[in-house]
Each structure stands twice: as C-alpha cells, then as structure tokens.
Amino acid sequence: MSPKYVLVDFENVQPDLSTLAGTAYKVKVFFGAKQQEGRVPFKLLDAMLALGGNVEPVKVMRSGSNAVDMHIAYYVGRLVEKEPQASIHIISGDTDFDPLVEFLKANGVTCKRAKTVSDLAKHAEPVRVATPRQRPAAAAAKPAKAAASSRKPHDARLDVIMKQLHSWSGKPATRKKLAQTIANYFRQHREPLADSAVEHLIDELIRLKYVTQNGTKVAYHLS
C-alpha cells in the first residue's frame, strides 16, 4: 500500500479532521502565523488527539501573502522526493495550488486538491490492528496433550524396553550394542525377536525422542 498524505491549509479551510481517525492517512496541518495567536478550538484539539501519531502540526512563523501556500508546496516537494509512490491530498480552497497539482500529475505523481476531507474519509480503508487470536481453553490444551501422546509408545514391547533402559546403569553407547542388548534381553526373558523387529524398536525410540543417534553413537533422553 502506497503512503497517503493529507496537507491541510488550515488558514484557508477548517475541515473536520476527526473523520480521518482510524485511517492510514498521515495528516500535516499548516497553521498561519496569526492563527497561532488565538486559543485553539476544543473541536480542533479533540480531532488532532483522535488522529494520534498520524497528525503533525506545522507552524508558519511569519505572515505574508501565500506564506502558508509556499510551505505546503515545499512539503509536497519533499514528499515527492522521499516517497515518489505516495498519494498526496491538498485540502484548501485556494485554486493557486491547481497548476502545481496538474504539473505533478503530468509527471506521474498522485496529487489532488479538495476543499474538504469528506471524500477521503469515505474511501479510506480502516487501519487493521493485528491482535492475537484467543483460543478456547480446551483448544489451547490440545497441543500439549497431543505432544504428550506423540511420545507415548505404540508398541507394547517398547514399554518393556523403556523399563529396562531406566534400570540399566551402563547403557549401550552404540546402536549396534543397543540392538544386541535388546535382542539378548528378549531371548532370555521373553520371546526371541528377529533382527528387523529389534531395529524397528530402536527406530521407534528415536522417533519418540527417547534416543538420539549421531553416527554410530546413541544418547538417551528418558526423563
């Protein structure tokens, strides 16, 4: 999305800026020197507060013919230089801006002049604030349950191996030695296992992360 700017000639028009609250427009409000001498209307203050960080007051320190207009033209040039893809909207009833607007359009810059901000507010897309989705307690607990069940042995023989691994003080340090130890245990205490069945049991221990293998070496994570 290209940046969007609104430059308000507040000396010429006093639009309701609050209509731009919650939009992506960045607003610069240009105050003439004489305007800075009086009290700030509460409506204007309230509108600028509603715009939050998207508004910037620009004070023109000296009065004079077209003083505010020259400042606005300067800011337009700076924006075009820094952000050539920006959309610029000049809010003013002063038609002296029209030749500048036409020149910018002819050079591929998106620039318009209007007396009010009403049309901008109508067509502005609201700023969407990303908020984390809240999950129900049951849904939040489900991944933890799934994680626990993913380590649960699916083969009854793995229960036997897990118990033995916990009880063995000197655990086999290589996969080959682990396979021999498992085969010997089942041959002596259970029913003999084929070599492929023993390898399958070791693969399951690795899949369930009770055992990790690095080359020929194995390590245990039983707690």
29-49 confidence digits (pLDDT tens)? 999 888 777 676 778 888 888
List the domains of the chain with CATH numbers: 4-123 (3.40.50.1010), 146-220 (1.10.10)
Per the structure block, which two tokens stand in for 156? 């009854």
Q: Is the pTM of this model over 0.75?
A: no
Burial class (CB in 10 A: 0-12, 13-18, 19+), 89: buried
How confident is the model over 60-111, as pLDDT tens digits? 988 888 899 999 999 999 999 999 999 999 999 999 999 999 999 999 999 9
How confident is the model over 109-123, as pLDDT tens digits? 999 999 988 878 666
Taking the C-alpha atoms of residue 108 and residue 111, their distance in angstroms, rounded to an integer, is 9
Helix (H) or strand (E) holding 55: strand 55-59
Taking the C-alpha atoms of residue 196 and residue 192, their distance in angstroms, rounded to an integer, is 12
Closest among 37, 57, 61 to 47, alpha carbons compared: 57
52 vs 127, residue with greater confidence: 52
